[in-house]
Structure 1
Amino acid sequence: MRPVGSKYLLEEPLGRGATGTVWRARQRETAGAEAAVPGQPGETVAIKVLKEELANDADVVMRFLRERSVLLRLTHPNIVRVRDLVVEGDLLALVMDLIDGPDLHRYLRENGPFTPVAAALLTAQIADALAASHADGVVHRDLKPANVLLKQEGDRLHPMLTDFGIARLADSPGLTRTQEFVGTPAYVAPESAEGRPQTSAVDVYGAGILLYELVTGRPPFSGGSALEVLHQHLSAEPRRPSTVPDPLWTVIERCLRKNPDERPSAENLARGLRVVAEGIGVHASTAQIAAAENVGALLMPDPAPAPVPGSNGSSGDADPTQVLPQGAGSYDPNAATSVLPQTGGPSGPAGRSGAADPTAVMPPVPPGPPGGQAPGPEEPHPWQTQLRAARDRNEQTQVQYLDPSQDPLRRRPQRQVARPQQPPQRRPQPQQPPAGYGYPPQPQRYATPQPPAPPQPQRYAPPPAPEPQRPRREPRPPRQRSANPMRIPGLGCLKGCLFTLVILFVAGWLIWELSPLQEWIGTTKGYWDQLTDWVGSVTGWLEELGGSGTNDPAA
């Protein structure tokens, strides 16, 4: 168990995501007035502990504290309530209600797609949660099945949307860069992928993809890489499955419009989905069917969509700089920034009488390249530029035949002829600097004694004496090899054996002739005679042994 603050105790992890880990936790004591829900000791809650890279970012911590009130007041029957926020050292955590149930992603994988009526009613409840959050100025930005928890209420599934505000907390200048987005590639809106200003329409786009996945079991756009999926979001149109009714496809098609101004608001989306669910049901009346077929009239866009702070090029965290009016005791928060009067005269630097230069305003610079035109919608997006660069690199790669003689792995090494050794270069001796340029004169070896003079400070040390030269060695001539390249294996060993036998034979003859060995044996025979007798004795002994073995004992 691990304590979080002084009021909560982590018990076991429930799941991990891109921004942190969700734990099952228990409340140790009642929370203070700063918490939205005080709770009771022993109550089970869910705590999401953010990752260390988020907790170590100062901008994320400031966002966390600044949006505390927004997240705590966001309540709706289809939104997982945030009970408390914990900031302790390098730990950031959100305390939420614990929902005992699977998420929508896991439920789809285990049970398959929903019926069109069930998918429309489920998405309508999620659209209700989005409408409530958009009214408070909070945009989810990461709507996907994994962020929808299913709460079991009898035989019905009650969807609960979670992870509100996490996308904005993760969208920190220290963590994100240009042309990056916060979200999942399969559910990201085109304006988010392009880095354009974002509004609450990105959540409606995510709801359209979620609705498509509920009735088909898969998202409308997929690919082998995130770059390919983003490219489809920007340019491809979703394919209509044959099992989707016409009214429901009208809702999906309007939610997945590339232009965010053509998408319906979350409130109108919820109303339209309920009309479609009534009109495509088995017991639908004629009026309900007609209303479902005319659902496009209900899917009106939001006239004032909630903007995503910081998506239009500004940070969106701090209020604009304001200057108090002169002589006023109060100021208008919506007032424009005042401009200081110019202190310099029109006569130029000579007539300013020491005043500072007025602040000059640079002329507007066109956003396009110098001397060119401003980029239009026809120019390729950075993602398309990266795709084109990868395609060009693949086209530059060519396959051609390589001659084995040019292959460094098959080329036999050539034997190099020894070159005569070059004589070593003689190092140049330092020249004697002339006297009179700050160098002290060199002492004479044979000089007449002079009276001692007071020592003068030397600016430079005298150069060292030249080293004696060593006699130069003559280069060794290269070893001459035999012109006959024939080599007989084992010839050297045979020569050694023959030479050893000759040495042993000569040594035995000298010992026999020069030593008293003949007298010791008691014979006056010569060396060859004695050697012949020994051979004959050994041969006769061997014959006797062979004859005694073959004789019959009975004879």
Structure 2
Amino acid sequence: MLGDQQRRKLLLGQRGPHAQSLLDLMQKLLDSFDLDNVRSILIRILVELSKRSGLYPQRLLLPNIKIRGDQVDGGTFGDVWKGDFDGRLVAVKKMRVFGSRDVQALMKAYSKEAVLWAQLSNPYVLPFCGVCCMNEPSPRVCLVSPWMDNGNLVQYLQDNPKADRLQLMQDIALGLEYLHSFSLPVIHGDLKGLNVLITSSPRACIADFGLSIIAEDSNIHFTVTATSNAQGSTPWMAPELFDHINPERRRKSRASDVYAFGCVGYEIYAGRPPFSEFPPMMAFMRNLQLLRPASTELDDAIWEIIEKCRDTNPASRPNMSDVVQQLLSHPDTRG
């Protein structure tokens, strides 16, 4: 079935109990067996079926999540609450529903995010605990992850002006390198300071996979549902994603993630988002250049990395493995 296009199409067309059985089977195979030769295609089909059906493997369902107090944070698509699970403090991200028409689309988006995130395991990627379901007043899928007392990168740097910025940048680079070199390469699609969390160590880990996509793979051919590539956070988005003349260039890629990483590097040393002094679209309409932050910790080598990552030509940007190598060889790296 995995090797035949027509049978894959039939598999991806399943809904309800049939889709649930297939999702459970594929997740069990991924959990239990060495599947190096078919692992990438199995994950791709698992994520796509989850997205189309709005379901997820039952193994990911967490029982007895208890919500603590009031909402503590919120974003475009979801609100974050503190919760308790199995004696641990967790973050519970509830999808935000504005009307009955949103429910089905959001269920599908959250199911896809959960399934993709569940396959990842790396010290520099936020761990995924599972999903839980809330039924007040309508059914909502919630994503559960460990609670991070240090908050996101932006908050942490505000509270800790003497933080080791180079180490944080290295951590983020290592996390992004892992995503890009995963058995089925993952493009984050919305990397920014607010989507990087800080552990108790304190080390940085990449979070929020709501806009992530699976990279194109010439060895795996089948029709997938359309993904909007226009979504994202404007100041961190690569210039090619705004190309209205050539729509093919607007597809998110490893290179657009590298550009976003350069913008996060700027955030780390400038203490503010790129182009924060201008209206969101002006930087691209006027082709403005970022000015080097006046930080004593930002030396020529790191600034050169940031500028190379933010090259307007995607083909001229380095890959994340090269970026990691350059950052880890920096003389200020701590052992």
What TM-score do you get using the length of structure 1 for normalisation? 0.41
> What are the residue-to-residue correspondences of 1:156-555 with 2, within 5 Å?
157-163=202-208, 165-168=209-212, 181-194=230-243, 196-231=250-285, 235-241=287-293, 243=296, 244-276=298-330, 278=331
Provide structure 1 residue ranges, at least 5 long, that are not aligned to the other structure. 28-39, 284-555
Question: What's the counterpart of residue 7 of structure 1?
Answer: 64
SS class of match (2:177): helix
Question: What's the counterpart of residue 123 of structure 1?
Answer: 169
Aligned counterparts of 1:151 and 1:67: Cα–Cα separation in 2? 22
Q: Which amino acid aligns with 1:26?
A: D
Aligned counterparts of 1:95 and 1:126: Cα–Cα separation in 2? 21
| Runs of 4+ deviating beyond 6 Å | 173-176
SS class of match (2:83): strand
Q: Does 1:105 align with 2:149?
A: no
Q: Does 1:142 align with 2:142?
A: no
Whether the 8 Å CA contact 2:153–2:196 is kept in 1: the answer is yes
- Number of equivalent positions: 249
Whether the 8 Å CA contact 2:110–2:210 is kept in 1: the answer is no
Q: Report the CA distance shift for 1:250/1:5 in structure 2 as closer, same or farther (over 3 A).
A: closer
SS class of match (2:281): helix
1:181: Cα distance to partner?
2.7
Q: Report the CA distance shift for 1:68/1:149 in structure 2 as closer, same or farther (over 3 A).
A: closer
The structure with higher relative contact order (CA 8 Å, sep 6+) is 2
Aligned counterparts of 1:48 and 1:187: Cα–Cα separation in 2? 23
* RMSD (Å), alpha carbons: 3.1
More strand by share: 2
SS class of match (2:189): coil
- The structure that has the greater radius of gyration is 1
Whether the 8 Å CA contact 1:15–1:21 is kept in 2: the answer is yes
Whether the 8 Å CA contact 1:112–1:217 is kept in 2: the answer is no
1:87: Cα distance to partner?
5.1
Q: Report the CA distance shift for 1:67/1:186 in structure 2 as closer, same or farther (over 3 A).
A: closer
More helix by share: 2
1:210: Cα distance to partner?
1.4
SS class of match (1:11): strand
Deviations 1:251-302 (A, max 9, x none): 11111101112111122211111122x1x57x9xxxxxxxxxxxxxxxxxxx
Q: Report the CA distance shift for 1:19/1:229 in structure 2 as closer, same or farther (over 3 A).
A: farther
Aligned counterparts of 1:230 and 1:249: Cα–Cα separation in 2? 21
Question: What's the counterpart of residue 123 of structure 2?
Answer: 77
1:112: Cα distance to partner?
3.9
1:131: Cα distance to partner?
1.3
Aligned counterparts of 1:192 and 1:102: Cα–Cα separation in 2? 29
Aligned counterparts of 2:68 and 2:321: Cα–Cα separation in 1? 39
Aligned counterparts of 1:224 and 1:247: Cα–Cα separation in 2? 27
Q: Which amino acid aligns with 1:271?
A: Q
Whether the 8 Å CA contact 2:95–2:106 is kept in 1: the answer is no
Question: What's the counterpart of residue 43 of structure 1?
Answer: 88
Equivalent in 74, 82, 91 of residue 16 of structure 1: 74
1:205: Cα distance to partner?
1.2
Aligned counterparts of 1:188 and 1:201: Cα–Cα separation in 2? 11
Q: Report the CA distance shift for 1:8/1:256 in structure 2 as closer, same or farther (over 3 A).
A: same
Deviations 1:25-64 (A, max 9, x none): 123xxxxxxxxxxxx3x43321111111499353443344
Provide structure 2 residue ranges, at least 5 long, that are not aligned to the other structure. 1-60, 214-224
